[in-house]
Amino acid sequence: MRRAAWGFVFGADLAVLAVSRLVTGMGSGCLWLGITFATLAAWPGQEYLCVSRIYAAYSAGSLLGPLLGAIHGVRGPFVAYLALVLLALVPVLTLRLPATAGAFAPDRRALRSPGFRAAVVALAFAVLALGTLEGVLPLHFGTKLGQSQIGVLYAATSVMVAVAGAAAARWPPRAMLLVSTVLVVSGFALAGASTAVPVWIAALAVAGAGIGLADTGATGVLLDAVPPQRIVTAMVLWSQIGILGYLAAPLIGGPVVDAFGYGAVAAVVALMATGAAATLARSNRS
């Protein structure tokens, strides 16, 4: 990731930027899974609580990206990102697993469980909402706010995501997911339908809290469905599907907004929320 950041800072050719983006994505995926497995190994019996905090921080970090984008210039945001990557090396290098940490093993049978399917759909909903917030709505906010102001708005939203995600671990994950569907859809509906900045602030606070709850809830459903010692295959596939949900957000939300306006963006999230709620209900009956 550090070398990829250098490519963004000093590269000007499209091929260099494309390779840097590829390397960044690979590094992010390795970091995501590495920290997750290290957390599961270091705190047995507290997986739901500890992993929820990790993913809350991940979601908050994703929304902090626009704050870096508020830095003027083309290379300025990437210089700031490189500085953050270098700072992150310190905790990564000091991370140590306990001597008693158990081994993890792949298990394809876990992929057939109703709980795993529910966790996948729940994560897809959470990440689709995050991708819509980050990849679709900024153009709507840009009608009234400047680049720096949008960055500050998203930074404040990231606080809501992190706080809600960390707090959600105190309650059952399925209940948190159901609550999150209401908050996310309501927040997006309000943000898309309004053109008033104070309403946008309130709407993103609601939606951000919902995204935090959804991230934690999806994690809890996965951990309930698959024992940590057999979670390798399930965790990798679950994470990959989550990334697809993020990439799908602008591909789906963009054309919907072009055709029907920003007020319709909530419909995209609502459809996914309905699917998540239905899948949870089926898995609960199994």
Residue type, 216: T
Per-residue pLDDT, 18: 64
Tens digits of residue pLDDT in 182-199:
999 999 999 999 999 999
Higher pLDDT, 90 or 92: 90
Which among 56, 61, 114 has a CA at the least distance from the CA of 88?
Answer: 61
Using CA atoms, how far apart are residues 269 and 109, in angstroms rounded to an integer? 30
Using CA atoms, how far apart are residues 117 and 94, in angstroms rounded to an integer? 35
Q: What is the DSSP secondary structure assignment for residue 100, as one 8-state letter?
A: T
41 phi and psi angles, rounded to 5 deg: -75, -35
Angular region, 45: left φ>0, alpha ψ -120 to 50, beta rest: left
Tens digits of residue pLDDT in 232-260:
899 889 988 888 888 899 999 999 999 99
Task: Supply 201's token pair.
Answer: 């602030």
Q: How confident is the model at residue 205 (pLDDT cuts 50, 70, 90)?
A: very high
Using CA atoms, how far apart are residues 67 and 19, in angstroms rounded to an integer? 24
Tens digits of residue pLDDT in 101-127:
666 777 888 888 999 999 999 999 999
Q: Mean pLDDT throughout 204-215?
A: 95
Using CA atoms, how far apart are residues 249 and 61, in angstroms rounded to an integer? 18
Per-residue pLDDT, 21: 65
Quick count: other Cβ atoms within 10 Å of Cβ 10?
11
Per-residue pLDDT, 190: 97
